[in-house]
Amino acid sequence: MLAQNGVPAPEDLAEVMPSEERLARGPVAMAECFQNIPCDPCYHSCRRQAIKPFSDINDRPQIDHELCNGCGMCLSRCPGLAIFVIDQTYGEKEALVKIPYEYLPLPGEGDVVEAVNRAGETVGEARVAKVQSGAKLDGTAIVWLVVPRELSMEVRHFKIKGGR
Ligand code: SF4
Ligand code: SF4
């Protein structure tokens, strides 16, 4: 499925997903990087050494979810926009998904946007809780989306209503 349309299959996701027990303890990153390509800025960006050392630059990133605190620094450093932070402790019925975003205009805090899954399909609505941007983030904004809890492993992009 991944090779045909770029959408990871459940078994691909199972390889990189934090455990339920880890997700229950707060924000944590998930690297949805499934191809062996010569790239490693995610590894160099993590000050907690939560991304394991690469033995070869073509390795895929391996996150130690116990060391990761969900700070989100690696999101803005990944040229593939392939890393997300999920916080299932955000609320009783809501979760937070931090999404790297390189389109303009940026959404505003409080905006309600279309929540989009990995296949580009709208699956519901999300609320923008925060937008991080600026020089420190290398031009890649991080948008904090509040989504229904059951969609926290589905929503990986969004569309501004009436826009893209
Ligand atoms: S979210 Fe922060 S701690 Fe976790 S892997 Fe990325 S940079 Fe490291
Ligand atoms: S920076 Fe992004 S694309 Fe490059 S190896 Fe890390 S997760 Fe994959």
Q: How far apart are CA 61 and CA 39, in angstroms?
A: 9
Asked if 28 contacts 86 with a C-beta cutoff of 8 angstroms, the reply is yes
- Ligand lying nearest the CA atom of residue 39: 2
Q: Which residue has the tokens 């990153």?
A: 29
Per-residue pLDDT of the chain (164 residues; tens, 9 = 90+): 676 778 999 999 999 999 999 999 999 999 999 999 999 999 999 999 999 999 999 999 999 999 999 999 999 999 999 999 999 999 999 999 999 999 999 999 999 999 999 999 999 999 999 999 987 777 899 999 999 999 999 999 999 987 65
Distance 37 CA to ligand 1 centre (A): 20
DSSP strands (E only) in the chain: 28-31, 83-87, 94-101, 112-117, 122-132, 141-148, 155-159
Which residues approach ligand 2 with their CB closer than 6 A? 31, 33, 39-42, 61, 78-80, 82-83
Question: What's the whole-model pTM score?
Answer: 0.95
The C-alpha R_g of the chain, in whole angstroms, comes to: 15
Which residues approach ligand 1 with their CB closer than 6 A? 29, 45-46, 48, 50-51, 63, 68-74, 85
Query: Which residue in 123, 7, 9, 145 sits closest to 75, CA to CA?
Result: 145
Domain ranges, ordered by start, for the chain: 2-159
- Ligand lying nearest the CA atom of residue 46: 1
